[in-house]
Structure formats: C-alpha cells, structure tokens
Amino acid sequence: MHFLFLFLVTFLQSPGARAGEIIGGQEVKPHSRPYMAYLTYEIGNGIKKACGAFLIREDFLLSAAHCWGRSIKIILGAHNIKISEDTQQKIPVLRAIPHQKYDNKTFKNDIMLIQLKKKARLNKAVGLLPLPRKKNLIRPGKSCIVAGWGRTLQDRFSDTLQDVEIKVIKDQECMERYPKNYNTSTQICAGDPKQKKSSSQGDSGGPLVCDRVAQGIVSYGFSNGRNPRCYTRIFSFLPWIKKTMNEY
Ligand SMILES: *[C@@H]1O[C@H](CO)[C@@H](O)[C@H](O)[C@H]1NC(C)=O
Ligand SMILES: *[C@@H]1O[C@H](CO)[C@@H](O)[C@H](O)[C@H]1NC(C)=O
C-alpha cells in the first residue's frame, strides 16, 4: 500500500491518491446493511489494516484486491466493531482470491473474492447483497450508497458503521483526474466534486449500492477524500466472479 501510495503521488501530481473513509455521512441504523463485513489483514511487522467487504453468497464475500494481505479476518453482523456484539459472526477464511490480473500500480482489476470455511448464518444482521444483472442499470446522476468503518471528516476511524449517499457521475470526470488509472469499462466514477461526501481510507472493498444492488467496489481516489473517486465496476467482472466461485 505504501508503494502504491507513492506511485500515485508521483503520477497524479496531487495531494496524493490512496485507497478508499466515509466523509460527510452518518451512522447507519444498526444492522440495516446486513451484507457489510469488517475485514482486517496484516501487511508485515504486525501492522493491521482494515477494509470493508460484502456477502454475496453464504460462503463468499467480495472486496477489493488491494485489501489482500496476511491473516485476513472477517466479521459479519457487526455494527460497532470495537465491542463484541451478539449478532457478530467471526468465520475463518478458507481462501482469499485477488484477481489474477490485479495491478497494484494502476488499481486495474481491483477485486477479490473471499471464501469462508463455513457458511454464514443468514438472519436479520447478516444477509446477502445481490450482484448486478444489467449494465444499463447505472448512469450518471444515479444516487447510490457507500458504507464503511473508514475515516470520517474528523479524521479518525469510525467504530460504528457509517454510510453516505454518492452520485454516479460522468466517466469524463475521472478520466480527467486520474488519466493514468481510470478505465471506463471496468470502473465507475462517483462523487460530486462540489460535495464533501465520499468514501475514504478504510472503506476500501465496501460496495457502492444502487437500488439495493452492488454495482461498485470502493477502489481508489485522492488521499484527501476529494471527489470524484473510482469504484470497480462489478458488472464487468461477473464472468470472473462466477467462474471463480465455481472453481472452489
Ligand atoms: C506490487 O506488486 C509487485 C509485483 O507483484 C510486488 O513486487 C510489490 O511488492 C507490490 N507492491 C505492493 C505495495 O504490494
Ligand atoms: C480497459 O480495460 C479493458 C478490460 O481490461 C481493456 O480491454 C481496455 O484496453 C482498457 N482500456 C484502456 C483505455 O486501457
């Protein structure tokens, strides 16, 4: 992550880009987003990092490939990740499968499947998020939701799940701001540049939810949380998702 951060600082000539905090959002009603999972991993020297992930089948979650690391742990059914809630399910991870062609310099193919050792128990606090079926479901102007335990405007990580409404905007906006990185066929550009509402550090891997469907995955953007930001376009990875889930 540090190399990637440096790379982007160099090439974007900006305050620096780093992977996706909820900024300008609010605490969600507990367990109203039952597909959300809290993911932690280690990057060496015992340093722990956190991301979001979301449940798409009882035994599979989706996240971002840049959230891959050692000792990946998943907590389902959480609202406050600092306390041990009765609703939480901590299921060991069987394998983490980042996209084979994930490129940590450009964030290309920033998608990862995580298979659990056993199926999650679905209930009011733990549920599935549907994948998209039709590409045309999502257009500029569309309002979507991003949720996560990432950094907030107060510049600290949140103990409780937050969410924020974010609008999909024209690809052109991301092409201009992230010319070396943005790919219109595999990514979604979202977040009004005039608004201080966005995903941010620690929200990476969480879903961009439009009409209760997972359309994007929080991928990358400028380090100051400024909009717009880039999301992995899930629709373009459906064949990979299906094939990979069938293989295991
Ligand atoms: C990025 O990928 C390259 C090649 O696989 C690897 O050598 C490097 O350590 C990676 N960098 C980070 C920050 O993960
Ligand atoms: C965008 O990604 C697709 C799929 O990986 C690739 O075929 C295409 O060449 C990319 N476009 C650009 C401009 O890099």
pLDDT digits (tens, 9 = 90+) for 160-212: 999 999 999 999 999 999 999 999 999 999 998 887 777 777 789 999 999 99
The answer, yes or no, to whether residue 216 has pLDDT greater than 70, is yes
Active site residue 84: no
The answer, yes or no, to whether residue 108 has pLDDT greater than 60, is yes
Place of tokens 């990580």: 157
How many angstroms separate the alpha carbon of residue 43 from the centre of ligand 1?
A: 12
Determine if ligand 1 sits within 6 Å of the CB of residue 67. no
How many angstroms separate the alpha carbon of residue 103 from the centre of ligand 1?
A: 8
Q: For domain 143-236, give the fold.
A: Thrombin, subunit H (2.40.10)
The answer, yes or no, to whether residue 234 has pLDDT greater than 90, is yes
The answer, yes or no, to whether residue 16 has pLDDT greater than 80, is no
Q: For domain 34-128+237-247, give the fold.
A: Thrombin, subunit H (2.40.10)
Q: Do 143-236 and 34-128+237-247 fall under one CATH topology?
A: yes
What span, in angstroms and rounded, lies between the C-alpha atoms of 32 and 30? 6
More confident residue, 95 or 23: 95
Q: For the chain, which residues make up each domain, given as ranges?
A: 34-128+237-247, 143-236
Q: What is the DSSP letter of 211?
A: T
Q: Ligand 1, closest atom to CA 3? A: 13
Place of tokens 């367990």: 31
Q: For position 154, what pLDDT does the model report?
A: 61
Of all protein residues, the one whose alpha carbon is nearest to atom 10 of ligand 1 is 104
Instruction: Give the largest CA-CA distance in the chain.
Output: 47
